[in-house]
C-alpha cells in the first residue's frame, strides 16, 4: 500500500515502531562533512518553525515499512521517526507513541524512560565519552530541540500543527522483501554490504514460528534466539574490524572473510546476498538459519583460534605475505574450510620455496616430487650465489624473513611469539650488509694488509672484496660481502641510520637503548643474533654462509621421502 498520510494517521495506527537488526545506529544531530549548516535535526526544526507561523503543510521524505499485527517495521525512516519521537516527548505529547530499539537494549531503556523533558534537559549535557552512539545523539537531539523551542509559547498548539500538517508518503512492502529493499535504498548512502543483508535475513528466518509450540512460547524463544544471534554476530563484526585482524588476513570489508569463505565452502561462489540466500538459505525455514549460524560460528572459532595461537598466526601471516601474487584466498579457503586438518607447517615451508597453492596441494606424488626438486634446486642455487644480493635479492629477502619468523616461533618455551609483519609492508623492508660494502678496504703496502674506513691496517682475511673468487690463504673459504652470510633483514629507516659504518659501530647503534626511535628492527630476532656477535670479519661471513646453507638443506631434507 502506498499513500500520503499525516503524522496523526501514522501514530493512530497505535502500533510499535520496530527498528530491525539491519538498521544502523541513530546519528541525527551529526554535522555532515564537518559543515555546521548540515545538521539534520536543526534543519528539520527550522523547517517546522518556518511552516508553523503560516500553519502551512510540511512534506517529509517517504517512510518505507512492513506492517504486522502489532508492529510497524521501519525499513526506511528510522532517523526521522526517532527524531519526531524525541521532539514530541520534549513537547509533552501524551498520545501512544512507542519505539522498540531492542536490538540495542541500552537505547531501548533510554527512550522508554523519557517523559516531558524541558525541566530535566541539564542531565543530557554533552559527554564526549558516552559509551553508546545512539544515546550520544539522542541527547544531542534533545539539546538542539530545547535550544530551538525553549521560547515556544503554545506547545499544545505546536503539537496539533505537527500531527495535522506533517505529511509523507507511506510505502508498505511485504516483510520477505524488507532486507532486499533496504539494501537497494541504502546502497549509495549507507553502503550496506552483502554480509549485513545476510545477517538480517538469518535473523528474520530465526524469528519465524516453530510448529508445535504455544504462541507465547514461540514469541519468547524467537526473541531470545534472535537476540543471541544478533549479539554474537556483532561480536564477530567487532573482531573483524580490528586493525590487527584485518592486517593479518589482508581484508578490509565489514565481516572480513567469514561469510565469503563459508559460501565458498558450500559452492565456491562469489559472495552476494542473492547467491548466499539461494545456496545457504534456500528453504527459508528457521532451521536453515540455525544451520548457517552454527556453521559460521564454527568457522569464526577456527579463525579466532588461529589468530590467538602465535605459531599458527606466524605461519598464516608468512604464507599470505610470500604468496600474495598467487591469490592468497586459495590458501585461506583451503586451510579454514576443509574438514580435514591441514598440515600448515608443510604448507609454510613449501611457500618459502616459491611453490604455488596448486603445486603445494598436488596429489600425484611423482609430479609433486618433480616440482619440489626443481624449486628446491633453484632456491639453493640462488642462495649459494656469492652475489645473491646483486643477482637474487628477493630470494635473500624471503630466506631472511623466514629465519626471523622461525626464531619467534621458538620463543616462550616453544609456544611462540607473534611476529610483526609490518617489516613486509610496501616500501618498508631492506637488507643490510653487516660488513659494509663501502668499507671493503684497499691494499696498502704489504700484500696482505688493508686499510679500513677508520685508517686502521687489517689483514686480508678481515676483509671481503666484491669478487667471487676471493679466498683465505689456505683456500678454504670462498665468499663476498654480497653473499647470504653477510646480510640481515632490517627496516629501511634503520638501514639508512647505519649508513656505511663498520660492524662495531653498527652494533653499538643497534643495542643503544637510548635510540629506540631509530630501531624498529629490534624485534627481528635473527637480525639481533647476528649483531650480538663479538666481531665480524671475512671468516665470520663465510662461516655464517656455510651454516645458513646447511640449515637450509636440513630444513627441507624430509621432503625427499615425504608421502603426499
- Give me the pLDDT at residue 182, please: 62
Q: What pTM was computed for the model?
A: 0.64
Q: Are 441 and 458 in contact (CB under 8 A)?
A: yes
Q: Are strands 16-18 and 2-6 parallel, antiparallel or unpaired?
A: unpaired
DSSP per-residue codes, 1-56: -EEEEEHHHHHHT--EEE--TT-----TTPPGGG-TT--HHHHHHHHHHHHHTTT-
Distance between CA atoms of residues 344 and 407, nearest Å: 17
Three-class SS of 403-466: HHHHHHHCCCCCCCCCCCHHHHCCCCEEEEECCCHHHCCEEECEEEEEECCCCCEEEHHHCCCC
Q: Which 3 state secondary structure label does DSSP give 151?
A: coil
Distance between CA atoms of residues 168 and 147, nearest Å: 26
R_g of the chain, CA atoms, integer Å:
34
- Give me the pLDDT at residue 224, please: 65
Joined together, the cell numbers standing for residue 134 give 545512539
Spans in the chain with pLDDT lower than 70? 1-2, 22, 31-38, 102-103, 115-122, 176-194, 196-197, 207-224, 268-269, 437-478, 499-503, 508-518, 560-564
100 sits in which H/E element? strand 99-100
Distance between CA atoms of residues 147 and 125, nearest Å: 12
Distance between CA atoms of residues 324 and 330, nearest Å: 11
Distance between CA atoms of residues 340 and 356, nearest Å: 20
- Give me the pLDDT at residue 112, please: 85
- Give me the pLDDT at residue 34, please: 45
Q: Which of 540, 431, 533, 416 is nearest to 488 (CA)?
A: 431
Per-residue pLDDT tens digits for 200-252: 777 777 766 655 444 444 555 555 677 788 788 888 988 998 889 999 998 88
- Contacts of residue 102, defined as CB under 8 A and 6 or more positions apart, other chains included, come to 19, 108, 223, 227
Q: Are 427 and 411 in contact (CB under 8 A)?
A: no
- Contacts of residue 413, defined as CB under 8 A and 6 or more positions apart, other chains included, come to none
Kindly report each contact of residues 334-340 with a partner whose C-beta sits within 8 Å and lies 24 or more positions away, as own/partner. 334/361, 336/257, 336/261, 336/299, 336/302, 336/303, 336/306, 337/261, 337/262, 337/264, 337/265, 337/299
Cα torsion through 253, 254, 255, 259, rounded to 10:
-70
Q: Are 401 and 525 in contact (CB under 8 A)?
A: no
Three-class SS of 301-328: HHHHHHHHCHHHHHHHHHHHHHCCCCCC
Q: Can you tell me which residue has the cell 500531527? A: 163
Distance between CA atoms of residues 485 and 507, nearest Å: 17
- Give me the pLDDT at residue 207, please: 65
74 sits in which H/E element? strand 71-76
Burial 399-428 (b: 16+ CB within 10 A, else e): bbbbbbbbbbbeeeeeebbbbebebbeeee
Q: Are 337 and 260 in contact (CB under 8 A)?
A: no
Burial 513-547 (b: 16+ CB within 10 A, else e): eeeeebbbbbbbbbbbebbeeeebbbbbbbebbee
Distance between CA atoms of residues 119 and 502, nearest Å: 76
Q: At what angle do helices 133-149 and 40-52 cross, to 10 degrees?
A: 30
Q: Are 459 and 443 in contact (CB under 8 A)?
A: no
Joined together, the cell numbers standing for residue 466 give 666484491
Report how far Cα 257 is from the mean position of its chain's Cα atoms: 9
Amino acid at each position: 500500500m502506498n499513500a500520503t498520510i499525516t503524522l496523526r494517521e501514522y501514530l493512530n495506527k497505535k502500533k510499535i515502531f520496530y527498528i530491525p537488526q539491519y538498521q544502523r545506529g541513530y546519528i541525527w544531530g551529526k554535522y555532515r562533512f564537518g559543515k555546521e549548516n548540515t545538521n539534520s535535526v536543526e534543519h528539520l526544526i527550522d523547517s517546522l518553525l518556518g511552516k508553523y507561523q503560516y500553519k502551512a503543510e510540511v512534506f517529509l521524505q517517504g517512510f518505507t515499512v512492513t506492517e504486522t499485527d502489532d508492529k510497524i517495521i521501519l525499513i526506511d525512516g528510522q532517523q526521522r521517526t526517532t527524531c519526531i519521537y524525541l521532539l514530541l516527548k520534549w513537547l509533552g505529547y501524551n498520545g501512544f507513541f512507542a519505539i522498540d530499539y531492542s536490538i540495542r537494549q541500552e537505547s531501548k531503556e533510554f527512550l522508554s524512560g523519557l517523559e516531558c523533558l524541558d525541566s530535566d534537559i541539564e542531565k543530557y549535557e554533552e559527554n564526549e565519552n558516552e559509551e553508546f552512539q545512539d544515546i550520544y545523539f539522542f541527547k544531542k537531539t534533545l539539546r538542539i530541540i530545547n535550544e530551538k523551542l525553549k521560547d515556544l509559547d503554545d506547545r499544545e498548539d505546536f503539537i496539533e500543527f505537527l500531527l495535522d500538517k506533517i505529511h509523507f508518503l507511506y510505502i508498505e512492502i511485504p516483510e520477505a522483501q524488507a532486507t532486499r529493499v533496504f539494501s537497494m535504498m541504502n546502497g549509495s548512502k549507507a553502503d550496506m554490504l552483502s554480509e549485513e543483508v545476510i545477517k538480517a535475513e538469518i535473523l528474520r528466518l530465526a524469528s519465524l514460528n516453530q510448529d508445535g509450540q504455544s504462541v507465547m512460547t514461540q514469541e519468547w524463544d524467537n526473541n531470545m534466539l534472535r537476540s543471541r544471534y544478533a549479539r554474537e554476530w556483532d561480536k564477530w563484526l567487532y573482531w573483524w574490524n580490528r586493525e590487527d585482524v584485518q592486517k593479518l588476513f589482508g581484508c578490509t570489508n565489514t565481516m572480513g572473510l567469514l561469510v565469503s569463505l563459508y559460501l565458498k565452502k558450500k559452492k565456491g561462489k562469489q559472495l552476494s546476498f542473492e547467491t548466499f540466500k539461494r545456496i545457504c538459505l534456500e528453504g527459508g525455514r528457521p532451521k536453515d538459519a540455525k544451520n548457517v549460524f552454527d556453521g559460521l560460528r564454527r568457522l569464526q572459532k577456527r579463525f579466532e583460534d588461529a589468530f590467538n595461537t602465535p605459531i599458527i598466526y606466524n605461519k598464516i601471516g608468512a604464507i599470505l605475505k610470500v604468496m600474495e601474487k598467487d591469490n592468497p584466498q586459495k590458501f585461506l579457503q583451503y586451510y579454514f574450510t576443509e574438514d580435514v586438518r591441514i598440515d600448515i607447517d608443510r604448507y609454510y615451508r613449501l611457500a618459502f620455496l616459491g611453490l604455488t597453492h596448486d603445486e603445494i596441494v598436488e596429489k600425484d606424488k611423482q609430479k609433486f616430487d618433480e616440482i619440489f626438486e626443481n624449486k628446491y634446486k633453484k632456491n639453493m642455487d640462488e642462495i649459494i650465489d656469492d652475489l645473491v644480493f646483486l643477482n637474487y635479492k628477493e630470494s635473500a629477502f624471503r630466506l631472511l624473513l623466514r629465519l626471523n619468523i622461525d626464531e619467534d616461533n621458538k620463543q616462550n618455551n616453544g609456544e611462540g611469539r607473534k611476529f610483526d609483519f609490518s617489516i613486509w609492508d610496501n616500501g618498508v623492508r631492506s637488507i643490510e650488509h653487516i660488513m659494509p660494502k663501502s668499507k671493503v678496504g684497499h691494499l696498502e703496502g704489504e700484500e696482505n694488509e688493508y686499510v679500513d674506513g677508520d685508517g686502521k691496517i687489517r689483514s686480508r682475511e678481515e676483509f671481503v672484496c666484491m669478487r667471487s673468487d676471493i679466498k683465505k690463504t689456505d683456500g678454504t673459504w670462498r665468499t663476498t660481502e654480497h653473499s647470504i652470510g653477510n646480510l640481515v633483514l632490517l627496516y629501511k629507516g634503520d638501514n639508512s641510520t647505519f649508513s656505511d659504518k663498520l660492524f662495531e659501530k653498527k652494533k653499538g647503534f643497534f643495542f643503544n637503548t637510548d635510540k629506540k626511535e631509530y630501531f624498529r628492527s629490534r624485534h627481528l630476532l635473527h637480525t639481533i643474533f647476528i649483531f650480538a656477535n663479538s666481531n665480524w670479519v671475512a671468516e665470520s661471513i663465510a662461516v655464517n654462509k656455510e651454516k645458513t646453507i646447511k640449515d637450509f638443506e636440513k630444513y627441507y631434507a624430509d621432503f625427499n621421502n615425504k608421502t603426499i
